[in-house]
């Protein structure tokens, strides 16, 4: 994790340096224009935003690394695969409800292109799919 944090801070510094070089290069390349018009704004702003996004990721990863306070399994040379595989919940590999849910979204989005009358139909299928998915362990063969 520490390597990731350092990598993101290095990328932040790199994009900051590239943004400064880009602005200075544009100012030098167009001496006949006023200073404000010499800057190519789209590329300059894009590079500053990329630097800001890299800084946000670096800050976030540094906070996560500090909060965990230990060596992660992927940082340890003696770790096994099972060390980095926590229990994340119970999932139904046989469930058809996610497919119905995706179909309801497809019907609703097709309704935006074809006709607005399909949006309520997609919403109704969505409600049925959500209720079915939530209550699938309370009915039928897998009831508890």
Give me the tens of pLDDT residue by residue for the chain, a chain 144 residues long: 677 888 999 999 999 999 999 999 998 988 888 877 888 899 999 999 999 999 999 999 999 888 887 777 777 788 888 877 777 777 777 888 999 999 999 999 999 999 999 999 999 999 999 999 888 888 767 666
Q: Which long-range contacts (CB under 8 A, 24 or more apart) does 128-134 make?
A: 128/100, 128/104, 129/97, 129/100, 129/101, 129/103, 129/104, 130/101, 132/97, 132/100, 133/95, 133/97, 133/98, 133/101
pLDDT of residue 84: 77
> Whole-model pTM?
0.54
How many Cα atoms occupy the beta-carbon half-sphere of 13 within 13 Å? 5
Q: Look at residue 64 in the predicted model and tell me its pLDDT.
A: 87
């Amino acid at each position: 994790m520490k390597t990731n944090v350092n990598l993101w801070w290095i990328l932040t510094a790199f994009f900051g340096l590239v943004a400064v070089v880009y602005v200075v290069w544009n100012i030098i390349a167009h001496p006949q224009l006023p200073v404000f018009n010499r800057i190519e704004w789209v590329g300059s702003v894009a590079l500053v935003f990329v630097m800001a996004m890299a800084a946000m990721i670096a800050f976030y990863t540094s906070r996560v690394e500090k909060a965990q306070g230990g060596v992660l399994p992927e940082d340890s040379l003696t770790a096994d695969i099972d060390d980095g595989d926590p229990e994340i919940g119970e999932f139904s590999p046989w469930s058809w409800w996610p497919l119905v849910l995706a179909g309801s979204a497809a019907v609703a989005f097709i309704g935006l292109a074809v006709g607005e009358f399909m949006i309520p139909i997609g919403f109704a299928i969505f409600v049925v799919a959500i209720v079915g998915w939530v209550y699938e362990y309370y009915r039928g063969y897998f009831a508890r």
